[in-house]
Chains A and B, each alone.
Chain A
Amino acid sequence: MTRKLRYIFIYFFLTISAFISVFPFYWMIVGSTNSSVDVLKGKLAFGGEFLNNLKNLWENYNLGTVLLNSAKISLFVVVFSIVVSSMAGYGFEIYASKSRNRVYSALLLTMMIPFAALMVPLFRLMYFFNLIDSHWGVILPMIPSVFLTFFFRQSFKQYPKEIIMAARVDGANELRIFFSIVLPSMKSAYAAAAIYAFMTSWNAYLWPLVIIQSEQNKTIVLMISSIASGYTPDFGVVMMAVVIATLPMLVVFFALQKQFVQGVLGSVKQ
């Protein structure tokens, strides 16, 4: 009897918690169909302002350009950072040596450094390269990811070394072994890493805020922040922007749940 009660309580607790976790998603979607006043009042039913909010966002806030900016930044960060860090992870793991292991430990330590500590010199560096208010100024420092290097090194630990040895005996060049034998067989790890890189670049706020200054170069996250912190923001429009910014993440999450979780947690457990 008490056992039954116990499970009733557990299901109650889990259901309430799950509801709280999911509710803001429902609410932002409802919000995107309502007027600013209704959003502020906390109206829970769908309204008829969906097209209005979308039109407003498209015409007055250049939604198209902003989305293209975000997509461009994310695309370059994803492609370059997974190539660079998977090569590094491979180098550290497959050609492990004492001196490289020391370098690797130093790399891992840098993960402790708060970004704010790098911000000022990075800003001056970008100023020197004439990359202030440009997308490359945002992209470049996001490419070398220590976290992804760690992630890939862990993944390559499970790769059978015999295959590499066999390819060497067949006379394949080391770069070829990596790009045409190892890389294609690690699709799951690459998908997880790509998701991680996509999440970090698409959602980035502080660094783009520092680098990007003009309206036409803004990302979707910068746009949300600037509309929402205006004097009298239209919250229907804000909710619409939030939905649009979250949508790609939700799609990737539900399409590739396993890799998504691996990518976000950085774990490589099967």
Chain B
Amino acid sequence: MSKGYKRKGLESVWDKWGWIFVSLMMAGVILFIFYPIVYSLYLSTFSTRGFLKTFVGFGNYTKLFRDTYFILSLKNILTILVIQVPIMLFLALIFATLLNDPKVKFKAIYRTALFLPAVTSLVAYTVIFRVMFSNDGLVNRVLMTIGLIKEPIRWLLDPFWAKVTLIIALTWRWTGYNMMFYLAGLQNIPIEVYEAAEIDGATKTVQFFKITIPLLKPIILFTTITSTIGTLQLFDEPMNLAAGVVTGSSVGPGNSLLTPSVYIYNVCFKYSPNFGYASALSYIMVIIAAVLAIIQFKVAGEKE
């Protein structure tokens, strides 16, 4: 009996230590995440102009559905999401599969080279791409020299091509990064699985779709969700790709690079600041991120 009492005592001592160890983190999270997220819900029911605060209830939320800029920013981001994320993840899967093939040589070199873009800062690589894709810049020059195009492509001056440039840039930066997740996952699949498939006469393509993809499903789901959240938050790239190219307040030609994060930033710090409205906008983004994540879980048919 005394033994039982003693154990209980120890456990409560350990429980106390558990809270001590997490306390610093929790203080930070409460102050810098929990409090802001609750406060921004409260703030989203006000219209603010400087220190002037007017209660508007759901007014901000009805306003944002009629806000053409916000709707446009959502359209832009969804276009990029639907096109860029699948291309990137598919490419990453292919690279990973090829680099997992025991017969392919120089793996370390290829892996390092493909991962290297993930080392760059988002602002730095965007600036490099902006210069490379300028009207009489490197990319147009090369394409014209090898005869693929006759006229320079108006990469950053045309709404369609501006989005293409952004998609190319994003794919360059993140494909190798995602490839590393798949490579780690592939190393857990025993080579015998593929050897058995080989003996059964399955082609490499069949193996890819029937073995690799199903076995990597949890990792594919993970990368899809992180890429989705990342795309919804796009800020550094559109902001710096659009800078200086088009005059005025448009973000990219015809606002083709306007993303929700850029718009929220502009509502806060650029025009006449309205923190209340910005909070409502950002709350909608939280909801969209959550809904997309749930859909992706459902599609993948995973529990938890």
Binding site for B on A (CB under 8 A): 7, 10-11, 13-14, 17-22, 24-25, 27-28, 31, 39-42, 44, 83-85, 87-88, 90-92, 94-97, 100, 103, 107, 110-125, 140-141, 143-144, 146, 149, 174-175, 178, 202-203, 205-206, 209-210, 221, 224-225, 228-231, 233, 235, 238-239, 242, 245-246, 249-250, 253, 257, 260-261, 264-265, 267, 269
Contact = CB atoms under 8 A, between A and B. Distances in A.
B145 to A, nearest CB: 10
Interface in B27-60: 27-29, 31-37, 39-40, 43
Size class of the B contact interface (CB-based, 8 Å): 35 or more
Interface of B: 14-15, 17-22, 24-29, 31-37, 39-40, 43, 95, 98-99, 101, 103-104, 109-110, 112-125, 127-132, 134, 136-139, 141-142, 172, 176-177, 180-181, 184, 229, 232-233, 235-236, 239-240, 243-244, 260-261, 264-265, 268-269, 275, 278-279, 282-283, 285-286, 289-290, 293
Nearest to B34: A110
B65 to A, nearest CB: 18
A24 B132 contact: yes
Contacts of B290: 112
Among B27, B104, B119, B229, the most chain A Cβ lie within 10 Å of the Cβ of B119
Among A18, A203, A239, A253, the most chain B Cβ lie within 10 Å of the Cβ of A18
Nearest to A85: B25
B243 A21 contact: no
B98 A10 contact: yes
Given A14-B98, A22-B113, A206-B265, A238 B279 contact: no
B40 A221 contact: no
B17 A174 contact: yes
A205 B117 CA distance: 18
A31 B131 contact: yes
A123 B109 CA distance: 44
Contact of A249 (B19, B121, B132, B138): B121
A224 B236 contact: no
B131 A265 contact: no
A58 B148 CA distance: 41
